[in-house]
Structure 1
């Protein structure tokens, strides 16, 4: 059995940033395992710009952003295995993986960083009635077809879901000559970033139909059209509001799910809200020496935030290998009253140098509201926001001085308040 200090599962933006950080902390005996044919993860197919504004202070495309970290990985001589599928992790941090070259391999790691990313929710998870005809793709699959394979999925397109991938593909399909007839969104608000609504829909006169859903798919061999309908406050279709749209392609942008089958096998506690691991301030899970970062932890809107988080995970894993213990538990962080979840879930003040970022998402659209943070029953932060939307991640910074101010604090609460 091969022995490594740190094994990083996933060679996308999260895994690469974590590996670089761990190496720069002095850990030489580490390994990246990646199931794809090359490093870079999902960024390789995200050829649009808008990446890197925070990390590199310049605007890059997805492949350019990924290449910065791939180059750094090569420069630091960090070893990695491609085309390698991890099939099991146990609580003793023994990893079982398989590839064509080595066959089945077992690796014992002192620390593991989970950076497997996320996958798209498929049609089967949302139960749309209609035939099982061709022409139905997830938005990410269509993105790979167009940007990497050079293949157009169709010419007349309806997109269900207004997440960022769906919005970006509305623009991409339009630029490639397709007609995007509508972006249909179940909720009364878009799930994507405001800038993507403007740049991808408004700039191309693509209609966004909020509080609508697809109620039927027509077609035997190929999609011929879809029926959409308005929904009520309980998200049920309203009879009489149906509208038929002829099309040959339906793209689904209906949510992302963290890839946590391996986490489950390692008995990592998962959040019922995000589907990702519950972590402390050092991004350690409930299993000692197992850390998590990136979209496998919670779905991010900006890759720059993935990088920041993953660098912290890499540093924490390196410190763990050097002998530092990150106690589980600590002060519990609770999301309530509009806030859906927080990362981290627990905070141990002894592991905080100056401050810690607590990230969260809201569950609805709030205008002229306040983000409030309570240490037990005392409100410490009360920050006004003109608008809060589920599509944009929020961050509150908790300083060490705040924790020292409340030495007996048992619970930190993050909430949305009207005043």
Structure 2
């Protein structure tokens, strides 16, 4: 098989890149080691920056997002028993975020790809990129006991942290930066109305909590927990009781509970691999970087990577220029590190760390007080939350 761009991974970044390329008339093939149902069964983030929404529009895949997504003009930081609203729209000159589940975004992109008749190969075992430092890269995979080969001009590694793309790079050619946080998030998904019409980030002596939603009838809640916590120790009732403890009284009283249909514990970490380009192989999204979910940046960073890579590929095929591809890693990493910094800052400000001293605690309280009473500080938060420009 021959194509112009081989994309490894059919998560949101791979599908979004594929759809943009298809709309631009650039041939591409997507390969994934798992099946469609497995991909759509993943429960992930749901706060989209305007840049991500714009890319969905450019990919002609944003109709349902606009019909069902929830535009949010602000969110609350809850501490000292009160809400302190951050007016995203007012502080940024009219920008907002949109709440729309990553699973739904993935479903939309899959549907549009099927309509376009572009090639996607699911359940492709042992996917491996080859010869990407030369001029004739290719990807091999196994299916039904047969080894196949896809020759291409470029390879986009959109296959996540555990995928083959980054692992195929020689160790001496890549540098990794990592920070492991000493806690995780215990998350619960239930078909109940959200406790608030906007997200609530809560800082409490018992630990962090987040009230989010996927729709006006489906809520996503999180509480900070130790890294060694076991999911089987948490009944729904125990989770709801603990969440109430960490919320301001008016939210705790308004909380509507119900049976969960998904419950999980996710560790928090920051990870960046540099560079993000190796000859004709480009790392995209979680293959190159991971951020804690506190700043709502994971999916949006993957989308910005797609923006830079698609722009470079379009420039290559349409204008016969490689300037964009050569600058891909530099441009992507500049935005990545700003988002990593923001996510680290939000995580540090909102969580209770096990080794926090009395001095550290007073600094955190002062930071929150300053942030919510200074327009300049609130504006910096809002600008980062809605998404820095590409």
Give me the TM-score of the superposition, normalised by structure 1: 0.47
Bigger fraction of residues in helix: 2
RCO higher in structure (CA 8 A, sep ≥6): 2
Higher radius of gyration, 1 or 2: 1
